[in-house]
Amino acid sequence: MGKFKNPYPNLNIDDYSHLYEIDSRFKCSKCERSRKFFCYTCSKFPDTDNKPPPKVKIPFEINIIKHKQEVDGKSTSSHAKILTEDQVEIFIYPNIPDYRKEIDDVVLIFVSPHAVDIKSLLEGQKKFKLKNNYGLARGELMGTLLMKDLNEIKDEENDVKMLENGHEKKSLFLDKLPFKKAIFIDSTWKQCRSIFHDERLNSLTAVIIQHRKTIFWRKQKDVPDWFLSTIEAIHQFLIEVHIQAWGIEKHYFDNCLQDFRYHNTDWIPKEKIIDSEMDISEKRDKEKVPYNGQYDNILYFYSFFYSFIHSLDNPNAEFKSIKLVD
């Protein structure tokens, strides 16, 4: 498939070359609409396909909130739903859950002045830290926390071990993450801001992801190229959380990260770069081994569409007939 340009030559993405050959359409078993590669409304893949897409297991749930004006075929949200094991739900704004009921377990990926980065988040820093993290009632102050039995604090759900012998002490790798669900907003920049102000969302801990340049394919007017598509943002969040929680394989760090065109990789602490062949110090669960491409398949369709659109042999007419892209 030399004529197709792979945007991510170094990532662990399954071979999708058979998708280039598809020239017919299928009827979605749920909505009965005619679709080409998958149904982007129902996030369904044709049952008859003899090479179903890969499934990625992710360490938390994802909710995606789409603006009702977003055209389905332009959105990459359905990629995430199809490519994970029932761990992604898509909601059309304003029909969304009231997240205030699960405020301790949910984070919102959004650029706001109060947003924390992922490293701080995993170290236990949340906007509502004093109110919620250590079982303190509303209005109680830091002094109350200090008077509590330190073991009691240490045993809290949040795994970051604090205040032992007066010093912060934490293990290099987390047993479990301090949140259960991550919310992404899939909309234009302007719509995104108005959704953020919804009271069901705006008290959540906001988290920012590192600058990574989009490989483009729906570059928006007047928006810088670090405004990622939803699926790129999800992938970035996944790997960033994974690296901060469980490290990154040295081989992947050295050879694969270049595909993301980061400005720099200073956000990856040196002690999180692990050479597994050398490292026998910690025995770890399969899902918590250093990052080595475990979530890269979430870019399976994105990579395919990118290469398909950018192939020289692909005439514009066909490009327009594929509604999945813009």
Count of other CB atoms within 10 angstroms of residue 58? 22
CB nearer to Zn ion: pick between 32 and 199: 32
Q: Could you tell me the smallest distance in angstroms from the CB atom of residue 36 to Zn ion?
A: 12
CB nearer to Zn ion: pick between 83 and 201: 83
- Collapse the DSSP code of 65 into the 3-class scheme (helix H, G, I; strand E, B; otherwise coil) and give the result: strand
Q: Could you tell me the smallest distance in angstroms from the CB atom of residue 29 to Zn ion?
A: 8
CB nearer to Zn ion: pick between 27 and 263: 27
99 vs 105: CA distance, rounded Å:
9
CB nearer to Zn ion: pick between 29 and 203: 29
**C-alpha 190: how far from chain center:** 21
Cis omega (within 30 of 0) for bond into 269: no
CB nearer to Zn ion: pick between 46 and 290: 46
Beta strand pairing call for 26-27 and 34-35: antiparallel
Strand order in the sheet with 205-208: 88-93, 61-67, 181-186, 106-109, 205-208, 116-117
> Which residues sit at the interface with Zn ion, rule CB under 5 A?
28, 30-31, 39, 41-42
Q: With 0-12 CB in 10 A as exposed, 13-18 as middle and 19+ as buried, what is 284? A: middle
What DSSP state is assigned to residue 290? P
CB nearer to Zn ion: pick between 29 and 255: 29
